[in-house]
Amino acid sequence: MTTVGIRLVEGLIARGIDTVFGIPGVHTIELYRGLAAAGARIRHVTPRHEQGAGFMADGYARVSGKPAAAFVITGPGLTNTLTAMAQAKADSVPMLVISGLGRSDTLGKGLGRLHELPDQGAMVATLCHTETVTDPKKLGEVLDRAFAAMTAGRPGPAHIQISTNMMGQPCPELAPPVISTSAVPLPLGRLRSIAAALNAAERVVILAGGGTRGAEEPLQKLAESLDAPVIQTVNGRGAMFGHRLTVPASPSLISVRKFIADADQILAIGTELGPTDYDMYANGRVPNLSDMIRIDICAEQLARHPAKMPVKADAGAMMAALLPMTIRANRDGAARAEAVRQAARAELGTLSDQMLPQLDMVEVIRDAMPNSIIVGDSTQPIYAANLYYDHDRPRGWFNAATGYGALGFAPGAAVGAAIATPGVPVVCLIGDGGLQFSPGELRTAVDEKLPITYIVWNNAGFREIEDALRLAKVDPVIGVTPSPLDMEHFAMACDMVFASVPPDPEQLGEMLITPHDGPRFLEVQAR
């Protein structure tokens, strides 16, 4: 008998899913029967916590550009995964979470059954699109709707739940997947108006967000045609590495804000203009952007900020369409970009005497391990680099310090990134505090023999939070100094090669160029 669980896995494979991250349980046995039946056609990776499964799927999707799936049990499995789903929602990452559900004849009756929630689907619906499989004949339709929700328009997570008594039911062969081809039509009339406004301007500045991922070539060509500096948000970094027009600096910096304010035309592409990029210090001094041209795939985002010309469109397609309509001109773009790069980097030194040394540590990682993927947690060097840092690989710099800001993101996300890009070195940069949120995911890296370098910034606590409490004049400061792990013994317990260095770029660089097989663990003594 071919069951719902088996057909579900077949349906995932038919829709391009090649990896599932999950922890089996008694409520997902039939899903795992489906994985067993699929054999080598789909890979299963076992995290140590369901939150880790979600973060792994997130990292996989960010790097590959396509969804991954997480299998979790009903109740605690799903609630453990919600944090990862919220992070994916905040950063527009496609992730499919498939969970169990209690027996359909017991739901909502408060019988105290194992893993029971009052209304699991309603809980998830507050966060993202959710589906319930109620009829085996409708399984294909459920999958099509979930994939459309993940990938049509602004990407994000989606959820499917299946009751335990439904998973084992006979299920007919699924129809071929409905592949969404409903591309957002280009507004041809508006294109001419936008091109005219850009051509007439003398100081164009482009704001490039995460919506430009995968569209690096048209972004570069459009910037060159307009001779326009490109300011990249955290999720847009890597698109313009080393380019004469790149400005890999946060719009939260005073120097960058002044640069934006001095422009006579702003072109904002695929950016939600969120405070974690544009108002990190919550001082409300963001430049007035109401005269901007704004391109975004999400109509809701376009409605949240006033704009002279808001356009709902795919970023890559829109930039490609605009390119032949622009008139090449010398707008002194390279000199303007260089000036603001210098000012932004210098500004870091005025914010803290630690910012530039921390940035040096991140840059030495990039230089010692070129073309690597750096996955960050919420830790001091990541915060510094989010303010100013140029990465050498598209989709190669991302972290949890923006958007939802979940601690413990990086160990799992690094696993997903490494699986998505076999042979590409991956670096997980995390603090000692964040590491203790999800230490178990390092064992997954060992199990999978992944080339991940775990770098732990050990400042013996939650230093960023401690600084914030002191700035707010909280006295005494409480709760910010949890004891760190003994890093050497922890690395030994994980069966990883270990080394410890001071916060010195030269010494860190020497350690990083040392050849290694599988994952390794480096401690930076930043106390």
Whether the pLDDT of residue 233 is over 70: the answer is yes
Length of the chain (residues) = 527
Whether the pLDDT of residue 181 is over 60: the answer is no
d(CA 409, CA 420): 17
d(CA 399, CA 414): 10
**341, 361, 376: which is the final residue of a domain?**
341
d(CA 257, CA 253): 6
Residue 330 lies in a domain: yes
**pLDDT the model gives residue 468:** 85
Closest CA to 151 of 187, 182, 186: 182
Closest CA to 420 of 453, 452, 391: 452
Query: Among the listed ranges 62-76, 279-293, 437-451, 504-518, which one has the minimum average pLDDT value?
Result: 279-293
**pLDDT the model gives residue 102:** 65
Is there a single domain that holds both residue 404 and residue 492? yes
pLDDT band at 27 (very low <50, low <70, confident <90, very high): confident
Higher pLDDT, 230 or 463: 230
**Which sign, positive or negative, has the C-alpha torsion 119, 120, 121, 126?**
positive
pLDDT mean over 331-359:
96
pLDDT mean over 212-228:
96
d(CA 511, CA 505): 10
Whether the pLDDT of residue 1 is over 90: the answer is no
Burial of 404 per CB tally in 10 Å (0-12, 13-18, 19+): middle
Is there a single domain that holds both residue 152 and residue 233? no
**pLDDT the model gives residue 111:** 61
d(CA 381, CA 523): 13
Is there a single domain that holds both residue 433 and residue 486? yes
d(CA 8, CA 71): 12
Residue 433 lies in a domain: yes
Residue 396 lies in a domain: yes
Residue 193 lies in a domain: yes
Whether the pLDDT of residue 80 is over 90: the answer is yes
Is there a single domain that holds both residue 512 and residue 396? yes
Residue 245 lies in a domain: yes
pLDDT band at 488 (very low <50, low <70, confident <90, very high): very high
Is there a single domain that holds both residue 210 and residue 332? yes
Residue 199 lies in a domain: yes
Contacts of 63 (CB under 8 A, 6+ apart): 373, 395, 396, 416, 417, 420, 421
pLDDT band at 289 (very low <50, low <70, confident <90, very high): very high
**pLDDT the model gives residue 329:** 86
d(CA 54, CA 181): 27
**pLDDT the model gives residue 209:** 95
If one counts the domains in the chain, the total is 3
Cβ proximity of 290 and 308 under 8 Å:
yes
How is residue 98 written in tokens? 């498939």
Residue 442 lies in a domain: yes
- Residue 129: which CATH number? 3.40.50.970
Residue 219 lies in a domain: yes
Is there a single domain that holds both residue 374 and residue 511? yes
Is there a single domain that holds both residue 39 and residue 125? yes
Question: Quick one: angle between helices 315-322 and 188-200, nearest 10?
Answer: 60
- Residue 208: which CATH number? 3.40.50.1220
Is there a single domain that holds both residue 308 and residue 385? no
pLDDT band at 422 (very low <50, low <70, confident <90, very high): very high
